[in-house]
Each structure stands twice: as structure tokens, then as C-alpha cells.
Structure 1
Amino acid sequence: MSARARPSAEPPPPRSDETGGAVTLLVILMAPVFVLAAVTAAAVPQRIAAQASADSAAANLASLAAGWRDAQGRDHGGISWFPPECGPAPGRAADGAADALDADLQRACETLARSLLAGLGARGFDESAIAGFYSSAYTASAASTALSDTHRASLPCRAGGRAVIADAAHVALAADWGTRDWATARVWPDGITIRSEAIGRITLPAGDDSAEPPDCGALFDTVQHEGLPRLGDEALSFAETLPTRTAFGN
């Protein structure tokens, strides 16, 4: 009687399982998403820092415009030695007695312009594409109607406490940003234009006379627009009554 064949001890072939392939495909599909998220996480803080740098530059230029208008006695039109051009105002008559002072002012302006452009360039701005304007002095405004039912626009005005705003100037600037850094260029391939505005003021202590100036009201108020501080409606309406805006930059 022949011996019966014993069953094979070899394991059965593995069943087909597509789990591994699905995981691999998911990883391939999700990898670009993770990379984009990481790049965005790196780029967005740079964008916020760039906006802060532009805001600081606008504030410095506005203060300079207000101060130099007052010093030169120019209510509107061009003012001498303003960044970044740092040249004399058009039509300015030569004055031999002021030549030495003018040379000093030009050197100071050029130093300030280099510092300002270097600071913006360090934040990723294109230094060759920074432009903007500065306004007439606020005291040159022709506005004589009330901006609201309760406040009549005029300068000088009281800004709170004993501080009096004697005059002011409005500055706006715009600059191209985002093409120099690898991360920001991935998020904004064509770069973006960052804008900022500010009002520079000449503030004096209130006098001892009884004729107190009116309250400034909403003349310098700002509001949040798309997460950024911008002039409020009444402040913007007043700024738009100023006689001139002088362009600077490219």
C-alpha cells in the first residue's frame, strides 16, 4: 500500500494588498502642500516686517517734510534737500550767505537717504523702485467747511493735554517687494507693492493765553483697513484739500 503524499508545508502566496501603494501616492501628493506651507510660514513674517519697515520710513519722511517746510517757510511746492533726490527745490534763488548751510543740508540729506534706502533694501525692497509724495503744509489747506457736525478743521489745534499741533505734512510711499528672497518669491512670484502713509506734525506746548486752539478732532485719526492703519475718512478728506503734492523717487 503506497504512502499518501503529505501536504506541503510552504505558506500560501501573499494576497495582493494596495495599502502601501496608496500611502506612497498620498505622500507624493501631499509633499508639495507641506513644502508650500513651510515656505508660506517663512515668507509671511518677512512680509509683516517689510510693512513695518515701510511704515517707519513713511513716518520719518513725514516728520522731515513737516520740519523742513517750517524751517524753509514753504507752505507748498517743492522743498530743498528732500530724500531720495536731495537736490534744491526748483526755482530756488541762489543765496551766497546760505551756501555753506545748503552744502551741509545736502550732505545730511544724502546720508539720511542712504540710510533709509539701505534699511528698506535690507527688508527685501527694490531700492530703485521706491516712490511717493509729500503734501503741502496743513496750514495751506483751503478747507473752511466743517468735516463733521461737531468739528471744524483748522490748525493750530489741540491734540490732547497741553500739546498743540502747529502744522503737519502728509507723506505716502510705495515700493516693490518680494522678488529677492527665495521663499517670498515662491509665494508672490511677481512680487507685491507695499504702501504706507504717515502724517508728520510740529508739536508745541500750549501757550499761557486764554485763547485756546480748537481740538484736533478727527483731523489725524487712523482706521484699520485690511489690517493696516490708514487715514480715517475725515482725515483723508482734509489731506485731499491740500494745494499740492510733490512727487519723489522713481
Structure 2
Amino acid sequence: MGPVNPIVSVVTPVHDTALKFLPEVYTSLRAQKLPGSWEWEWMVQVDGGSGAEVPADILDDPRVKVSGNRRGGPGVTRTMAWGRSQGELVKVLDADDILPGGALARDIEVLEAHPSVGWTVCNAHDLMADGSLKRYPVGDPAPGPLRRGELYAYWSTTHRPKVHPASLCIRDGLLAQIGGWMALPASEDTALLMALDLTADGWFIGEAGLHYRKHSEQTTAHPEHRGGAEWEARMGAIRKHAEALALRYRGSR
């Protein structure tokens, strides 16, 4: 058997109202040019569906692996998609977002060049309903290394991530150590980012690598997303998980 090309697994959870965005996501993924012999696979996981709901032209691509699961919410669905993946790198891509050109290549190049770095995030722009782009409203860190605890220190006082968690790319082994995504109704991507930040060094890529679609049906538009009893429970779960990992990995650089 010949050598197996390295794979980056793009993990996308999708629910019924986001199915309509998948063709645009697929177009942005097909336009990615990867370095060397790298290949991508797209793990599309339908929450509360079978996978047959995905458009036929997407299903015809052998690089696209579609499945479904009992309705479990975004954290469960992300973890189920990742459980089927084969890549040594795992890239987060929501069903309504877009990858600008070069996004995957930059993630791969950083993680190949810096073996001690466990994950990357990048500059992001909000994609508005009229097609215009607006810079993510939190000030970016300087491009380059993100030392352990740097992002958690900011989040613990603001409850807002300093970088966009929907832009994550992670080494598969590190994601396995953390256990995938928390089973939260929202903020599961922030929970993963905080866990990663307290477990391994990261890297911030200054070029835009995510167009984050803003629309009325997204999870972050829910009235309980930024306050109330559910919000308090989500923040508490994120904090408990992150701080337990911080204790476990303290001094293990």
C-alpha cells in the first residue's frame, strides 16, 4: 500500500434551517488550495436527520461524508461528526459560514511549522445579510503564538472570546484528550476554545480565515444566548471544565 496523504477533516454540524446554506459552504471549501499532498474531507452531520436532506450535488462528492444523529444539539452533533473523521487535523466550519481563500492552507502551514502548537484561530469577519463584511468586534491579539491561559484570562472577566471560536483548527489527538465538544445548547465552540487555551499553546493567524454569517435563525440570535438562567449555567459549565483542565495540564509544557 502506498503512502496515505495527510487529511484535514472539516467538521460541520447542520440543522434543518441551515441546510439552505450548505451549497455556499461547499463552494468555499472546493475553492481551497492545500499545500503539498494534503487533502480535505468534509464531515457533514445532520442534527435530527438522516443526511439525505443534503443537496444531491454535494452528496456526489466522495470527499463529503454525510450522516445524521438523533437530535442532540450542536455540541453532540459536532462530536458525532468528529467521531467519523479520519484527519490528523480537525477544522471547525459551521453550516452557514464561509471559508475565504487560503484559510485551510494557513492553518496547515502553521501547525506543520510549529509542532508544539496544538491549535489555531484566525481573524474573522461578520458576513452581513447584504453581503458586506464587518470585522469581528473584539480586538485581535497580535499574529503569532497564543500562550496558555491568555484567552481564558480575557473570557473569565468579559464572558466573550477574544478570538472567534468558529475559526478553530485543532490537532486530532489534542481534541481527543479534551473529549470533543461539551453537550451544551450553545457556546460549545467557546467551551472548546477555553479548554484548548488551558491545555496547549495556540496560534493566531492575522489574515481573515472566516466569514461568519449573521442571520436571524442562528443560535447566537436566541434571546437566552447572552443572559438568564441558561446563560449562567453554560458559563458555569465552561468555567468548571476549563479550570479542571488547567489543573491537569499545569506544568506539562
- TM-score category, normalised to shorter length: under 0.3
> Normalised by the size of structure 2, how large is the TM-score?
0.24
